Amino acid sequence: MIGTTLSHYRILEPLGAGGMGEVYRAHDLHLDRDVAVKVILRGSPSDSTARERFRREAHVLSRLSHPGVATIFDFDTQDGVDFLVMEYVPGGTSNRSYRRVHSTSRSSLESVRRSATPLRMRTGGDSSIAT
Question: Residue 129: what pLDDT?
Answer: 46
Q: Above pLDDT 90, what percent of the chain? A: 34
Does 24 have pLDDT greater than 50?
yes
More confident residue, 101 or 43: 43
Residues 96 and 79 in one domain: no
Residue-wise pLDDT for 93-108, tens only, equals 554 444 444 445 555 5
Mean pLDDT of 13-35: 93
Q: Where does the pLDDT of residue 47 fall: very low under 50, low under 70, confident under 90, or very high at 90 and above? A: confident
Domain that holds residue 63: 5-87
Residues 75 and 25 in one domain: yes
Does 14 have pLDDT greater than 90?
yes
Look up the CATH number of the domain holding residue 15.
Answer: 3.30.200.20
Q: Measured between alpha carbons, how far is 109 from 107 in angstroms, rounded to an integer?
A: 5
Mean pLDDT of the chain: 77
Residues 23 and 11 in one domain: yes
What total of structural domains would you count in the chain? 2
Q: How many CA atoms lie within 13 A of 108 on its CB side?
A: 6
Mean pLDDT of 118-130: 52
Residues 45 and 96 in one domain: no
Does 92 have pLDDT greater than 80?
no
User: What's the predicted TM-score (pTM) here?
Assistant: 0.66
